[in-house]
Structure formats: structure tokens, C-alpha cells
Amino acid sequence: MALKPQLNERILDLSAAPGGKTTHIAQLMKNTGVIFANDISKERCRAVSANCHRLGVNNVVISHSDGRFFPKTMTGFDRVLLDAPCTGTGVAIKDPSVKASKDQKDVKRCSHLQRELLLAAIDCCDAKSKKGGVIVYSTCSILVEENEAVIDYALKRRYVKLVDTDLEFGRAGFKNYCGLHFHPSMSLTRRFYPHTHNTDGFFVAKLQKLNDNHKDPGLKKRKKARLE
């Protein structure tokens, strides 16, 4: 819903398996254009293929690749969806083992991977796309480290801005949390909770790409140092 794929577009689902998102995008596009469905797991790519065949989807190209390096393979997409690998803390209500099987090391590992994947997703997107230039980031985690902190990291390193998800429900993302201060536009992101929205817990952010260049996060500090 946040991605809003249009007919005849070129779309990338960077972490696609098992294919539910990919096939839904294909349905919204009425089997036009092309969708690249990528996943790092070869076994899970088979599930994407099976679901596409089962549902009569014929506009999908399936690839088996580490999403962090996908920009070296292909760029220029109108829209990119990154449903990132995460700790799964949002699904603890139906899978209580998550509460006992995840620790701080898992959170740090996922957060680092999510940052790399999000930068890659942004780099795959075409800022000059007439209708798109959109990146949607989502997780099934409710942890700030995997959500707002990851988006804030990308805002500082790429020419992107947060835009309204156009989702009619959900709570606004955190602008401040436990001493952390994020960009004011973080309120445009959306959080969902089992006890409030009768869904799994998850997070959605929608980014608009403004420029294909990269930011230098240390540039301001170096300029200030030279002035001093």
C-alpha cells in the first residue's frame, strides 16, 4: 500500500522470499512492467518461483544475490521495497520463542545489516524516475534500533526525504527516544502494535529519492574544523 506500484514500472523487491509481497505487487501492476524479486537464500528463492507460478504471475525476474551488493548488478528502478531481515520482535505474540532466542548481539547484527541494505535499496532507485523514485522500508520489529535509527542513518548519507506513507492507521514513529534524537520528519513513519491495531508489530517508512549522489556525513565537521 505504501509502495503504490504503477502499471509498466520497473520495481525491485530486494528481500523478496517467500514471495507474498512480490505477487501482490504484480497483482497491483496487472502483470505489466517488470519486478525483480531478489533474495540471498537460494532455497527461499524457490518459494518465490513457486508462488509466482501458482498465482499466474509472469512479470517477475527472480535473482539470488546479497542485496547489499545489488547496486553493482543493476540500478534505475522506479520503486524499491525493502522488507528487511530483522529480530522479529513484532511477532512475539504468535512466536513467544523470539523473546528468549534474541539478545543485544542479534539486535546490533540486524541493525548493521539493515543499514547496509537500506543504502543499497536507495542506490538501486532512480531519482529521475518520472512517477517513482520511491523506497519503502519495513520490518516486523518494534525496536527503535531497527527502525527509526536505521532511517535516520540513511537520511544522513543519501539525498532522500521521508514522505507520508498514505497509510490510514498506525502510530507516528519516534522523533525522540531514550536520549536519541531523530529528524523531525520521522513522525511520517508508521508503527503498528498487536495490542492496538490487531496486527503483528511492524514499522513502515517511505522515502523519496532526491538525487543520485551520496552525502558525505563528515563534510560539515571538516568544514567547521577548517574554520576554527
- Domains within the chain, CATH numbers bracketed: 66-227 (3.40.50.150)
Annotated ligand binding at 90? The verdict is no
Q: What is the mean pLDDT of residues 70-87?
A: 96
Residue 82 pLDDT:
98
> How many residues in the chain?
228
Annotated binding residue at 101? no
Q: How confident is the model at residue 27 (pLDDT cuts 50, 70, 90)?
A: very high
Over the chain, what is the mean pLDDT? 93
Point out the least confidently predicted range of 44-53, 168-177, 215-224: 215-224
State which amino acid sits at residue 148.
Answer: E
- Annotated ligand binding at 166? The verdict is no
| Residue type present at position 97 | S
153-189 pLDDT tens trace? 999 999 999 999 999 999 999 999 999 999 999 999 9
Q: How far is it, in rounded angstroms, from Cα 172 to Cα 169?
A: 9
Enzyme catalytic residues: 140
12 touches 81 (CB < 8 A): yes
pLDDT reported for residue 216: 85
224 is in an annotated binding site: no
Residue 75 has pLDDT above 90, yes or no: yes
Confidence at residue 97, expressed as pLDDT on a 0 to 100 scale: 79
Task: Give the burial class of 217: count Cβ atoms within 10 A of its Cβ; 0-12 exposed, 13-18 middle, 19 or more buried.
Answer: exposed
| Neighbour-count burial of 191, counting CB atoms closer than 10 A to its CB (0-12 exposed, 13-18 middle, 19+ buried) | buried
Residue 71 sits at φ, ψ, to 5 deg, of -60, -25
